[in-house]
Structure 1
Amino acid sequence: MSNQDTSFEDNSKELNAKEKMVRGSLWMTVGNVLSRLLGAVYIIPWYAWMGEHGKVANSLFNKGYNVYALFLMIATAGIPGAIAKQISYYNSLNEYKISQRLFKRTLVIMAGFGILCAGVMYLISPILAAGDPNLVPVMRALSIAVLIFPSMSVIRGYFQGNQDMMPSAVSQIVEQIARVFYMLLATFIIIKVVKGDYVTAVIHSTFAAFIGMLGAYGALIWFYKKQKPEMDRLIAGSNNTVEVSENSLVKEMITEAIPFIIVGSAITFFKLVDQFTFEKIMAGFTNFSKDQLSSLFSVFSANPDKLVMITISLATGMAMTSLPLITEAFTKKDEAGLAKLVSDNIQLLFLIMMPATFGMVVLAKPMYVLFYEPDVLGINVLIEASYIGLIMGFFILISTTLQGLYKNSDAIFNLGVGLLIKLVLQYPMIRIFEVYGPLIASGIGFTVAAYLMTKKVHEITKFNYSLTIRRTILITIFSLIMSGTTTLVRSFLYLFLNPERKFQALIIILISVAAGVAVYGWLALKTRLADKLMGDKVAKLRIKFKIK
C-alpha cells in the first residue's frame, strides 16, 4: 500500500504528484493568503486609532515581532518541516506505526522546549530591546505565545507529512481571526475608551498572538480527533519491517530539524540585521531624531511587510506542500517524476507570484493609502519591497526543495553566502540609498543564495532548465500584459476617483484587480499553460467560460 493510495484527502483513488501539489498548494495558499490578509487588514483601523503615533507604534510592533519570529524558529527547532519530511519518508515505506511514534514523541519534547524558550525570551528581553524601554513589555507579551507554538507546530507538521494541508490552512485562518479580534478590541478600548497610551495598546496587540494560537490549537485538535480512525486503520496495515528505537527517532528528528531552523529563519536573520544596524548607520551621517529614524524603519520594514508578506505567503504555502512530495519522489528514486515535480513547482510559483507582485506594484499607491496614508516615500518603498518579495518567495521554495533532497549542508552554506553579502553591502547601500538601501542589500543577498541553490537542485534532479526558463518567460509576458491592463484601468479610474481617499482607493483596487485577474486568467487558460501546471481539472474552467 503506497502513501498515494492512502492520503487523508482522498483514499478512494490515487493522486499523482501534480494533483497532490495543486490540491495541497490550494489549501496552503488559501490558508496563508487569508491569514495574511487578515493580518494586514487590521492595520487600517489600528493605524488610524494610533493617530500621530501610527508609524512609531507600528515600528515598535514590528521590532517586537522580528525578535519573536526568531524565537519561534528556535522554539520549534525547524520541527514542522522536519517532521513533515520524516513522516512522508516513513509513510512512503508503509511504516505508519513509526510515523505515529515519531509524532507523539516529538510532541512531548516540543511542549517542554516551548516552556524553556518562552522563559528565556521573557528573561532576556531587556538585553534584546537594546536600550528601548518600550520594547521590553512588548517582547514579554509575545513570549507567552512561545509557550504553545512548538507543540502546535508539531501537529501542523504531522498533517503536512501526511499530505493533508487543510487542517494547517484552517488553523491559520482561525488563528488570525482570534488574534485580530482581540487586537482591535483591546486597542479600541485602550485608545478610544479609556484614552490610554499607544505603548499599552501595542503590548496588548502583541499579546493577541497568544490568543490566536489558542484558537489554532483547538482547530488542530478537532481535526486530529476527526481523522484518528483513518490513521488507526493505516497503522494497523503497516509493514512493521523497519526497527527504529525511540532514541534513534529523536536523534533523526534533531538532525533533520537543525537545518530547517537555520534556513527557515533566513528572512528573520535579514530583518534582524536591518533592525540592529539601520538606525545606527543612519544616525552616523544624518541629523534625524530617534523618532524620525524609527519612523523611517517603519517605512521600509514594518509597513511594506504587511502587504508584501501576502505574496510571499504564496511561496510558503507551496514550499510546505512540495516538501513531502519531493522527499517521497527522492526516496522512491523516481528520477523522472522528481525532475518534473521540481520544474512544475518553480513554474507554478511564478504563475501565481509574478502577477501578484506586478499587480501590487501597479496598485502600490491606492494600497498604501488604504492601509496607511498618502506618503510618496512609503509608496516607492512598497514598490521596491514588492520586487524583493518575489526574490524571497523563490528563495523559500528552492531552499525547501534542496532540503527535501537531503542537501541540508548545501542549503545552510548558500544561505550563509547570501547573509554575508547582505552584511557586507548593508553599510554602503544605506549610505548611498538611505531608506532604500537595506532592501537592495537583502535583494542581492537572496538572489545569490537562490541562484546557488538552484544550481545544486539542478545538479541533483536534472530538471529541464530550458523548459522552466521558457515557461517562466511566458509567465512574465502574461504578467506584463496583465500589468498593462491594470494600469489602464487604474488610470481611467483616477479620472473620477481620488486614490488618496481610503474608500475610493479601495474601489480602485477592487476594479483594477478584477480586470487584471480576468486578463491573466484568460491568457493562462487560452494557452493551456494552466492545464500543464495545475492538471486537467482546469479544463472545466475553460469550458465554463467558453474559452477554446
Structure 2
Amino acid sequence: MPSDNSRLFLRGALILTIAATIIKILSAVYRVPFQNIVGDTGFYIYQQVYPIYGIAIALATYGFPVIISKMVADAKKVNASDAHSIAFAAFIILGFIGIILFSFFYFGSHIIAHWMGDRRLVPLIKVVAVPFLIMPLISTIRGYFQGKREMLPTAVSQVVEQFIRVICILLLSYVLVRNGASLYQVGRSAFVSSVVGSLLAAAILLFFYFRHKEEASLQLGQAFKFIGKKFIIQGIAVCISGALLVLLQLIDSFNLYSLLTSTGIPSEKAKVLKGIYDRGQPFIQLGTVVATSFSLTLVPELSSTLHGQKKNLEEKIQLALKVSVVFGLGATIGLISIMEPTNTMLFSNQAGSNVLKVFSISIFFSSMILTINGILQGLGDLLSSAKFIIIGMIIKVFGNYLLIPQIGTMGASVSTIIALFFILLLSIYKIKRGGIHLNLGSFFIRLLASAGVMAFILQIWTYVFDYFHLTNRIWSLFESLGGVCLGGFCYLYLIGYFKLFREDEVKEIPFGKYLLHKKK
C-alpha cells in the first residue's frame, strides 16, 4: 500500500497536470479567434513579442518554483518553519533577477525592436517587461507551497491567470478593432491583459500564503547559504527545459521578419508571411498537450523508483516514452494529412499549408524531448536538457540565416525541425549513456504501421472533398472535424490491435482501457 506521503505527492502531481493541460489548451485555442480578429499582420505583431512574455511565464511556472519547492522540502525535513526563511531568501534573490530582466527589456526596448526589424514594437516590449517584476512573488509562493506538497494554490493561480488573460485579450481586441484602433495598439492591449492576469495570480497566491503563513526560525544569512549559487543555475536550467518551444519562437522573432525583408520582400508582405508562419504555434501546442500531459503523470514516480529495482525504473521510462511517441506521432501525421482543410477552417484560407506541414513535425520531436526532459529531471539531472536546448538554439539560429534567404518561411520550419532533431538525439544518447536500455524496436515497427494506415485513410477522406470541390470554410469544418474523428478512431483501434501497450502498461495510463483491443 502506498504511504500517505506518496498519495499526497501523486495527488499533487495530478492536480498540477490537470492545471497544465487546461492552461495549454487555453493558450493554444485563444490564438485562433485572436488571429481571426486581427488578421495575419496583427498576429505577426503579437507573436513577435509573445516569446518575451513566454520567458516570464516559464520562470514563474517551470523554473524557479521547481527549485524553490525542492529546497523548501529539504528544509522542512529539518525544521518545518525553516521553509518560510528559505522562501524569503529566494524571493530576495529573484527580486534582483526580476528587476534586472525588467530593466533589460523596458529600457532596452528600442534596441530589441531594432533587432526584430520593427521599431513600432517598442510600446509592446515595454508592457511585456512588467511581468518580470511580478515573477519573483509568483515564483516564490508557488515554490513554497509545492515544497509543502500543497499544489492547489499553484493550480488555481495558473488557471485563473490564463482564463482572465484570454478573456481580456479577446474582448479588448474585438472592441479596439471595431473602433478602428491600429493593430499595434491592439497588440499592446493584449499584453496589458497578460499583466492583469499576472497581477490576479499574485493576489490569489498572497491570499493562500497569508492564510498559511508560518514564522521563520532560520536566520536569513543561513537561508542564503542554504540556497547557494545552485539555486540560480538550476532554476535557469529548468526554465530553459520548460521553455523549449518559446525559445525557438524567440529566435524567429529576432531574425525571421528581418531576414525576409533583407531579401527584398516588402515589409507589409513580410509581416503577413510571418503571421501565416505563426499559425503553426497553436497547432504545436495542441498537438503536444496529450503527449506531455499523459507522460507527466508518470514522471513523478521516477523519483520514488530511483532506489528501487533498475528493471522497474526502465519500465516506467519506456512507458513514458511510448505514450509521448504514440500520441506525438499520431498528432503529427494526422495534422499533416488534414492541414489544408484545418488551415481553412481555423484561419479562413490555405495560405502557408506546406510550411505548416513541415512545421507540424515539431509535434513529434517536441513531445519526445519534453518527456525526456521530465525523465531526466525525475532522475535528478537538471542541467543536461538545458545544455542540449542551448545547442539546438545555436543550430536554429544558423539554420535560419542559411535557409530563410533561400526558401523563405519554409527555411524557418526546416531549421526548427533540424534543431529539435539534434536536441532529441542528444537527449536519447544521455539516457542510454546513463545505463537505461530502451528495447523499442518492434514497438516502432507496429507504430509506423498504425500511423501509415491512418494517413492512407485520411488521404482518401480529403481526396473525396477535393474531387467534389468542397473547399470553402464550411465544408472545411466538416472535413477537418470528420478527419479528426475518423483518423483518431482508426489510429486508436490499430494501437490496440497491434498491442503497442501491454495490459500492465494500460492500467497506468489514464483512459488506457481504450488502447487495449482484445483480438478474438
Structure 1 residues 304 and 295: CA distance shift in structure 2, 3 A: same
Output the CA distance in 1 between the equivalents of 2:363 and 2:185. Answer: 32
Report if the CA contact (8 A) 1:365-1:499 is conserved.
Answer: no
Other-structure match for 1:240 = none
Conserved 8 A contact 1:370-1:505: yes
C-alpha distance 392-547 of structure 1, shift in aligned 2 (>3 A): same
**Residues 429 and 441 in structure 1, CA contact (< 8 A), matched pair in contact too:** yes
Provide, for residues 117-148 of structure 1, a one-character-per-residue CA deviation record: whole Å limited to 9, x for no partner. Answer: 33442222122111633211111222233332
Change (3 A) 1:448 1:329: same
> 2:105 aligned with 1:121, yes or no?
yes
State the match for 1:361 in structure 2.
Answer: 336
Aligned sequence identity (%) = 22
Task: Specify the alignment match of 2:282 in structure 1.
Answer: 306
Distance 1:540 1:263 in 2: 28
User: Which residue is 1:521 aligned to?
Assistant: 492
In the superposition, relative to structure 1, how do residues 433 and 360 fare at CA in structure 2: closer, same or farther (>3 Å)? same
CA contact (8 A) 1:33 1:310 kept: no
Out of 400, 405, 409, the residue aligned to residue 426 of structure 1 is 400
Tell me which amino acid in the other structure corresponds to 1:347: K
Conserved 8 A contact 2:506-2:513: no
CA RMSD of aligned residues (A): 4.0
1:291 aligns with 2:264: no
Which consecutive unaligned segments of at least 5 residues does structure 1 have?
233-243
Structure 2: gaps (5+ residues): 215-220
2:236 pairs, out of 234, 258, 277, with 258
Could you tell me which residue of structure 1 aligns to residue 90 of structure 2? 106
Indicate if the aligned counterparts of 2:40 and 2:275 stay in contact, CA closer than 8 A. Answer: yes
Asked whether 1:535 is paired with 2:511, we answer no
Cα gap change, 1:315 to 1:499, in 2 (>3 Å):
same
Task: Report deviation, 1:166.
Answer: 6.6
Tell me if structure 1 keeps the 8 A contact 2:495–2:516: no
CA distance in 1, matches of 2:311, 2:206: 38
Deviations 1:357-378 (A, max 9, x none): 22221221222112212134x2
Q: Does 1:399 align with 2:399?
A: no
* Aligned partner (choices 126, 142, 151) of residue 128 of structure 2: 142
Amino acid at match of 2:256: F
Question: Which one of the candidate residues 170, 187, 200 is aligned to 2:173?
Answer: 187
The letter for the 2-side match of 1:386 is S
Q: Tell me by how many angstroms 1:323 deviates.
A: 5.5
**2:362 aligns to what?**
388
In the TM superposition, what are the counterparts of 1:93-492 in structure 2 within 5 Å? 102-103=86-87, 105-107=89-91, 109-110=93-94, 113-130=97-114, 132-157=118-143, 168=154, 171-192=157-178, 194-217=179-202, 245-251=222-228, 252-284=230-262, 286-300=263-277, 302-314=278-290, 316-317=292-293, 321=297, 324-330=300-306, 332=307, 334-376=309-351, 378-460=352-434, 462-466=435-439, 468-492=440-464
1:19-34 aligned at under 5 Å gives the runs: 20=10, 30-34=18-22
User: Match for 2:36: what amino acid?
Assistant: A
1:512/1:293 CA distance change after superposition, 3 Å: same
Deviation at 1:73?
Answer: 4.6
- TM-score normalized by the length of structure 1: 0.79
Alignment of 1:53-132 (within 5 A): 54-73=39-58, 78-84=63-69, 86=71, 102-103=86-87, 105-107=89-91, 109-110=93-94, 113-130=97-114, 132=118
Q: Please give the alpha-carbon distance, in whole angstroms, between the structure 2 residues aligned to 1:498 and 1:410.
A: 49
| Count of residue pairs brought into register by the alignment | 512
Query: In 1, Cα distance between the equivalents of 2:203 and 2:171?
Result: 21
444-453 or 68-77, larger mean C-alpha shift: 68-77
- Give me the whole-angstrom Cα distance separating, in 1, the residues matched to 2:108 and 2:418: 32
CA distance in 1, matches of 2:145, 2:442: 35
Q: Deviation per CA, 1:180-226, whole angstroms, max 9, x where unpaired?
A: 2111211122121x322222111111211123334545666677799
1:340 Cα offset (Å) = 2.2
> Alpha-carbon deviation of 1:25?
7.8
Task: Give me the TM-score of the superposition, normalised by structure 2.
Answer: 0.83
Q: Alpha-carbon deviation of 1:513?
A: 1.7
Judging changes above 3 Å, is the alpha-carbon distance between structure 1 residues 25 and 434 closer, same or farther for their aligned structure 2 residues? farther
1:369–1:218 Cα change, 3 Å: farther
What residue identity is the alignment partner of 1:287?
A: G
